[in-house]
Amino acid sequence: MMLPLLLMLLLAGFSGWVAREALLATHGGAGSPPAPQKPDYFLQDFQTRSFDAAGRAGAELSGAAMQHIPGNQTVRIAQPRLRVQDQQGALTHASADVGLSNADASNVQLFGHAVLQRQAPGQQLVVVRSSFLNIFPQTRRISSNRPSTVQQGQSMFSGDDLQMNGLDGTFTMQGSVRGRLRRETGATP
């Protein structure tokens, strides 16, 4: 007998909350409270995939945990693992201890043991390592203001600052830069 009454009270309370939130959202202004800085949803041990129009897998993202922060529209991922294969067949893997992305994923930041590997058909594997990588997927740029290494085949470079163009594979380093060039066995001069 109390259950229907309890359900009605719960429904009335929920309806009032929805109406108040809708009113705040439509009127906004100085009187509206700031967007919350606490996560509004969580995912644990997740995996997500995207597909292109032809049904081919485009990207796969997994992690130990994910939180969405509505106040600044960011997503924080613990132990992110990303795998992307583009239309030209290049395969990219990225991983770190923590990942942070803005709302439209135009800027992804990797913190702690950040590693990005890219293998394009007919090219040598490129591996970028740093404690921080700032990735701009749409323009295919990577930067870091922390010590980083770039390895391509047997050649390796390290420096204090990294700017990399993923479209053509060129990069610049500043600070204490060191490099080792090695020709692959069997390569022609």
pLDDT of residue 114: 96
Tens of pLDDT along the chain (189 residues) come to 333 333 344 444 444 444 455 555 545 545 555 556 787 788 899 888 887 788 877 788 889 998 988 888 888 999 999 888 877 888 889 999 999 988 888 888 999 999 999 898 888 899 999 999 998 888 888 999 999 999 998 899 999 999 988 777 788 999 899 989 887 665 544
pLDDT of residue 109: 92
| Whether the model pTM is above 0.85 | no
pLDDT of residue 37: 72
pLDDT of residue 112: 96
- Domain borders along the chain are 41-180
d(CA 141, CA 152): 17
Both structure tokens of 32:
């509206």
44-74 b/e (C-beta count within 10 Å ≥ 16 → b): eeeeeeeeeeeeeeebebbbeebeebeeeeb
**What kind of fold does domain 41-180 have according to CATH?**
lipopolysaccharide transport protein A fold (2.60.450)
